[in-house]
Structure 1
Amino acid sequence: MTRTPPLSDQVAVVTGAARGVGALLAQRLAARGAKVALVGLEPDELAAVAKTCGPDATSWEADVTDLETLAAVADAIRAHYGRIDTVVANAGIALGGPLLDADHRMFSRVIEVNLLGSVATARAFLPALIDSGGYLLQVASLAALTPAPLMTAYCASKAGVESFAHALRAETGHKGVKVGVGYLSWTDTDMVRGADRDEVLREMRARLPWPANKTYPLEPAVERIVAGIARRSPHVYAQWWLRGMQAVRGAIPGVLGRLGPREVARLEPRLAATAADRLRPVGAGGAAGAGGSAVGAATDGSA
């Protein structure tokens, strides 16, 4: 059995590291002694976070949906450090509201960044991880475990990355690569705060059953993720109760199908009146990721 190296001996790459989960995760990994490379599209923010991660930290501008550029960055990071041991595919954006109100280009952009961006991240960094016998953590969400109305793009993308990571684990395990999936509920990030500025979406979230209706602090969530990375866990839960959702996830679509229509019908007039406010992804990271050549740097605290 191959020994997992301590974080102090590792080079870790974090995408979407300009803010939120990605930024704090890079800082916490650096505090454990890892050399961290921050990847995203907000160069000033990335550089500022990198400065807080110690002298060995670096920042790299790349769109996770641009495989050619991302592969070049992966090669450059590997050349700079000599190896890559851990990659956290964290970049993501979110769009709220009814499907028929959504701008189709922005809906597609959420899928492109969250799902295809994760695929491109794996493609770009797997050669280095195969050489090091490394670990890829794919950040998913509670949205991968339970679908939710008014979040169709985000739920589809996070269910997709969860399934992608599970399949990739079986595909690459014989090459010494471990693959994990990280799950977060609503966590205090730029993305969730941006969503909460929408009064109707905030009200609907507040009516979810406990404990899914709470916003959880960022620091404990990231500490749990760091602990999972250190163990190279196949499943990493940022909030304690998410593990239990695995046992009941099969029943959730049926319950949602019975209760969801009533809630959406109640909110429909207000949703229609404010539809123009939901044409772009939420939060500052979402704004960065909405462009054709931008990647969202804020994730992932959304259900």
Structure 2
Amino acid sequence: MSYSLEGQVAVVTGGARGVGELLARKLSARGANVALVGLEPQLLKDVAGRLHTESDWWHADVTDQEAMVQVAAEVKERFGKVDIVVANAGVASGGPFVDSDPDAWRRVIEVNLIGGAVTARAFLPVLMESRGYFLQIASLAAITPAPMMSAYCASKSGVEAFAHCLRAEVGHQGVRVGVGYLSWTDTDMVRGADEDEVMRELRQRLPWPANRTYPLGPAVDRIVAGIERRSAHVYAQWWLRGMQSVRGYLPAVIGTVGQREMRRFGARLGGVRRGLVGAGGAADEGRGRGV
């Protein structure tokens, strides 16, 4: 069953760039009014100003419970209701865990996992009123572990489990909950990760089709289609659905193959960038300065 987006009110976190920006544009093109939430005020304002329907934006850190509760109240006051919430905000870091920056590692968990839960806690009351839909953006990283990506994989596995738990809790109250899965998609985050030579080479050595970077447009089209169906699972690339059937075998395979790859790269691993990657990561690191 598909739901018309005409007149619906959709909240998109991480709406300043990448998946969030394009998702906001495509939801608006289908008639939804859009509330953007993120850390980059000027970009949020610019995105909101280009949308076809009623829109507004809020500068907020998704890990700040008090701020997000206030955002939820203001969005409800501004638009009268909330029908759809997409917990899309996310950051990433890479490199060996033993050499990782503890603050950056923790921040990935905070934004991706705790931020998703904070977003849900803030908006669930209004979603219960509208019998709406909460979509948590996860990743291929929720399905398969990957060396050099411990924080990101842990956070995305966590939000996947969180969303599955939430679905069982709130379904009887009319709220549907979905999990969105994306492989490597052409965003600032992925381009930022590819700036590191070792991370780029490791990704290129992944088996097809996981070694490709996929265009953003078709991926977001599939997410929009999932939102229209209020799907429990939304796959931004066609082949991700098939990964569900083999995910139980992947930790053993990755454990064996990963050791070989770590030996291959050896001393080069110490040179991997330790902080958050991409323009979105830079914005998060500068959040205290309001950039």
TM-score of the aligned structures, taking structure 2 as reference length: 0.97
How far 1:4 sits from its partner (Å)? 6.3
CA distance in 2: counterparts of 1:260 and 1:88, whole angstroms: 33
Letter in 1 for 2:141: A
CA distance in 2: counterparts of 1:148 and 1:287, whole angstroms: 23
Tell me whether 1:248 sits opposite 2:246 in the alignment: yes
CA distance in 1: counterparts of 2:2 and 2:76, whole angstroms: 19
Q: Are the counterparts in 1 of residues 28 and 53 from structure 2 also a CA contact under 8 Å?
A: no
Letter in 1 for 2:55: A
CA distance in 2: counterparts of 1:233 and 1:55, whole angstroms: 24
State the match for 1:18 in structure 2: 16
Question: Pick from 274, 278, 287: which aligns with 2:282?
Answer: 287
CA distance in 2: counterparts of 1:24 and 1:33, whole angstroms: 14
CA distance in 2: counterparts of 1:230 and 1:5, whole angstroms: 5
State the match for 1:123 in structure 2: 121
SS of match in other structure, 2:265: helix
| CA 1:30–1:295: 2 relative to 1, 3 Å | farther
Tell me whether 1:48 sits opposite 2:41 in the alignment: no
Tell me whether 1:141 sits opposite 2:136 in the alignment: no
Which has the higher mean CA deviation after the structures are superposed, 50-59 or 246-255?
Answer: 50-59
- Residue-pair matches, total: 291
The share of aligned pairs that are identical, in percent, is 64
Question: Pick from 78, 82, 86: which aligns with 1:80?
Answer: 78
Q: Are the counterparts in 2 of residues 12 and 36 from structure 1 also a CA contact under 8 Å?
A: yes
SS of match in other structure, 1:195: helix
Q: Which protein has greater RCO, CA pairs closer than 8 Å, 6+ apart?
A: 1
| CA 1:291–1:105: 2 relative to 1, 3 Å | farther
| CA 1:54–1:64: 2 relative to 1, 3 Å | same
Report runs of 4+ in structure 1 exceeding 4 Å deviation: 291-296
How far 1:229 sits from its partner (Å)? 0.2
How far 1:279 sits from its partner (Å)? 2.1
Letter in 1 for 2:71: V
CA offsets per residue over residues 122-157 of structure 1, 9 Å max, x none? 000000000000000000000000010000000000
SS of match in other structure, 2:43: helix
Unmatched runs of 5 consecutive residues or more in structure 1: 297-303
Which has the higher mean CA deviation after the structures are superposed, 284-293 or 63-72?
Answer: 284-293
How far 1:44 sits from its partner (Å)? 0.2
Letter in 2 for 1:281: L
Q: Are the counterparts in 2 of residues 85 and 132 from structure 1 also a CA contact under 8 Å?
A: yes
Q: Are the counterparts in 1 of residues 11 and 82 from structure 2 also a CA contact under 8 Å?
A: yes
How far 1:294 sits from its partner (Å)? 8.4
SS of match in other structure, 2:95: coil
How far 1:54 sits from its partner (Å)? 2.4
SS of match in other structure, 1:58: strand
| CA 1:295–1:231: 2 relative to 1, 3 Å | farther
CA offsets per residue over residues 235-260 of structure 1, 9 Å max, x none? 00000000000000000001111111
The root-mean-square deviation of aligned C-alpha atoms, in Å, is 1.5
How far 1:55 sits from its partner (Å)? 4.8
1:29-48 superposed matches below 5 A: 29-48=27-46
State the match for 1:271 in structure 2: 269
Q: Are the counterparts in 1 of residues 5 and 32 from structure 2 also a CA contact under 8 Å?
A: yes
Q: Are the counterparts in 2 of residues 16 and 295 from structure 1 also a CA contact under 8 Å?
A: no
SS of match in other structure, 2:159: helix
CA distance in 2: counterparts of 1:203 and 1:256, whole angstroms: 16
State the match for 2:178 in structure 1: 180
